[in-house]
Amino acid sequence: MADSQQRSDLAPPSGDSGPDDQAPSGSADMSVWLIWAAVMLVAIAVLPFAVRSQDVVRAIASMCGVTLN
């Protein structure tokens, strides 16, 4: 195949704007928000069980800079 023929095969069609020119979809943003909400829901659901253990409470307090006796 000629060199010019190979270049024309690799070039995008004249009407194609390419992936860089397309606007981002809202579904990706919604996915991030749903994943974040699920993580927060699990974290909040675990809190009552974590508070029952004094070692966990002390570890969380020490991460926040508070010393418990």
pLDDT in tens, 17-62: 555 555 566 788 999 999 999 999 998 898 888 778 888 888 888 9
- Residue owning tokens 């194609």: 16
Q: Decide if 51 contacts 45 (C-beta within 8 A).
A: no
Return the closest-CA partner of residue 46 out of 31, 35, 60.
Answer: 60
pLDDT in tens, 11-28: 556 655 555 555 566 788
> Domain-by-domain residue ranges, the chain?
26-69
Q: What is the pLDDT of residue 10?
A: 60
Q: Decide if 50 contacts 56 (C-beta within 8 A).
A: yes
> Residue 50: which residues within 8 A CB-CB, separation 6 or more?
56, 57, 60
Q: What is the pLDDT of residue 41?
A: 94
**DSSP 8-state code for residue 53:** -
Q: What is the pLDDT of residue 46?
A: 86
